[in-house]
Amino acid sequence: MSSQQEWNERYSSSDLVWSVGPNVFVEELTTDMTPARVLDVAGGEGRNALWLADRGWDATLVDFSAVALERAQTLWAQRTAPRGAGSLAIQQSDVVADSLGDQEFDLVLVCYLQIPPLSRRVALQSSARAVAEGGTLIVIAHHSDNLHGGVGGPQNPELLYSEQDVLDDLAESDWMIVRAERATRAVVVNGDERIALDTVVVLRRPKPER
């Protein structure tokens, strides 16, 4: 697993490691949601959290890289576009070792969390516990098939996972499966459009009957 220092160095070596705008699936899946409380797990420089906060969400961005979080805070302060009533909170945490909360968020995002299977399971289960009753968990990842059938992403198969891996990691939770599939994402490489293969899982925690 990459260390905190390695990620700090990676973020320090570039103005932006990830793109400015949100992930295409995050945009697609959340556009029609009513803004509420969202947790962006291992969200790096905050591209998804910032975009959601701009649209009225109260966003909490969690990452273990202080450099990434500082950059997210700077980007939020520099926003010039009209903002909704949303907010951005920054929390430096290790998503494997630290608790992410107990049913505190209406939406929890886990996007491209690239860690080995045992650590991933711990992080996903912690993320799941943070989802409130009636809330949604969205997991997006580089699919296992992307190594040979797609473009980009880690070249280490241990860091790739499928929709079934996500469901298996959360098998002991009582979730409504809204979407669980291998999805395609267009990527431009050297001026040519290529296809990346992603895992997209959307789960909803049911509200208990009163």
Q: What is the pLDDT of residues 177-210, one digit of tens each?
A: 999 999 999 998 888 899 999 999 999 999 877 6
Quick: pLDDT tens for 134-182: 999 999 999 999 999 999 999 999 999 999 999 999 998 789 999 999 9
Q: How far is residue 147 from each of residues 24, 119, 144, 161, 164, measured CA to CA in Å?
A: 20, 20, 6, 10, 17
Distance, CA of 112 to CA of 124 (rounded, Å): 12
- The distance of Cα 4 from the centroid of its chain, to the nearest Å, equals 18
Dihedral in degrees, nearest 10, Cα atoms 7, 12, 16, 18: -10
Query: What is the total residue count of the chain?
Result: 210
DSSP-assigned letter for residue 135: E
pTM higher than 0.85 for the full model? Answer: yes
Percent of the chain clearing pLDDT 70 (strictly above): 88
